[in-house]
Chains A and B, each alone.
Chain A
Amino acid sequence: AQSVTQLDSHVSVSEGTPVLLRCNYSSSYSPSLFWYVQHPNKGLQLLLKYTSAATLVKGINGFEAEFKKSETSFHLTKPSAHMSDAAEYFCVVLSGGSYIPTFGRGTSLIVHP
């Protein structure tokens, strides 16, 4: 069984300040974890993925995520927000017992000038 919880439905930051989007997961087996970004009326684009290699994963556009097994978390961070980062972000889990991923409900990132 697998599940994923995105702890915030909305996150609001000022341009130039750090971004933290939180994700907790549940998985019966060693999971693969992904973060996707969706801009309005667009499809989803892969930001980064964890697949049992390094626990700190670097993605596109300066985003990073750290896999913490003890906390069952995979939080997404960025040191400095840009206006173009405003979008919906989805955390996704794929456990060893499944090939169908489970999506979180999404976190809307709002970036103020």
Chain B
Amino acid sequence: DGGITQSPKYLFRKEGQNVTLSCEQNLNHDAMYWYRQDPGQGLRLIYYSQIVNDFQKGDIAEGYSVSREKKESFPLTVTSAQKNPTAFYLCASSIGPDRLRNIYGYTFGSGTRLTVV
């Protein structure tokens, strides 16, 4: 079955540490996205990538970094510069950057819950 796999499901980070969240898809989708979810705030876009080796900042990119070396993979690193990283992180993908293809919707992973300890 095609889909998006996020790992780990739960992640604990100590102060000052960098941590990397994994996102892998086997849907052959061109575009991938990272969102942060906090209670009562909906989903906020961190980074997105339309094609391999290219990505753009979203609304809340500070303290995060990404890479897109392979079409299937879009890992997110939460750096020590992110002062309030405790949140639920969701990865998504869509067929491509073309709006007409994006109207088919977005496929989401099951999320990673990150907690600072």
Contacts and interface: CB of A to CB of B under 8 A. Distances in A.
Do these two chains interact?
Answer: yes
Interface of A: 9, 32, 34, 36, 41-46, 49, 51, 90, 94, 96, 98-101, 103-106
B108 A45 contact: yes
Given A43-B90, A43-B109, 11 more contacts: A41-B113, A43-B110, A94-B99, A94-B102, A100-B58, A101-B106, A103-B42, A104-B42, A105-B41, A105-B42, A106-B42
A99 B42 contact: no
B103 A32 contact: yes
A46 B3 CA distance: 13
Interface bracket on B: 20 to 34
Contacts of B109: 43
B102 A99 contact: yes
Interface of B: 4, 6, 31, 33, 35, 40-43, 45, 48, 58, 88, 90, 92, 97-99, 102-106, 108-111, 113
Can you list the 4 inter-chain pairs with the closest CB atoms, starting with the nearest?
A43-B108, A105-B42, A103-B43, A44-B108
Interface centre among B35, B43, B92, by most chain A C-beta atoms within 10 angstroms, is B43
B97 A105 contact: no
